[in-house]
Amino acid sequence: MDKFILFAGNHPVLVTALMASFFLVIFSELRRKASGLINIEPADVVRLLNNDGVVLDLRNPDSYARGHIVNARNVQHDELDSRTKSLDKSKPVVAVCDNGISSTRTVTALRQQGFETAFGLKGGMNGWMQAGLPVVGDKKTKSKSRKGKKRG
């Protein structure tokens, strides 16, 4: 024990940095637990969708057209308030973005509006596709890609 006290006396900057990082980790973990489970795995999203869940795709219309989860609704951040009024608050809602980062902000907003079963897709559409789950594309996008191919 005397060696620890001697070390702390000789290296106050290191000890202060260690204590600050320790409290930062504790604070972030407590904040995460207080906010509840926000991001869920793709397999859990499939279970929610089978129980009448709704998917809100927060990506831009071009990304949505290239590929999205079946029956997903394309909703931009600025129109979120008006589009969520038509949703049933008792049904699960899953917010999806490109990589799972910006959907966390949307899930927090949805929970403040009374959607207790609002979640974000962990990893976003990238995580969904890496899990090998189905993606549907817009018919317009598929026809454009066929026009670009040379026939011969």
Nearest to 65 by CA among 144, 122, 12: 144
- Catalytic residue selected from 95, 97, 107, 125: 97
Active site residue 11: no
Catalytic residues: 97
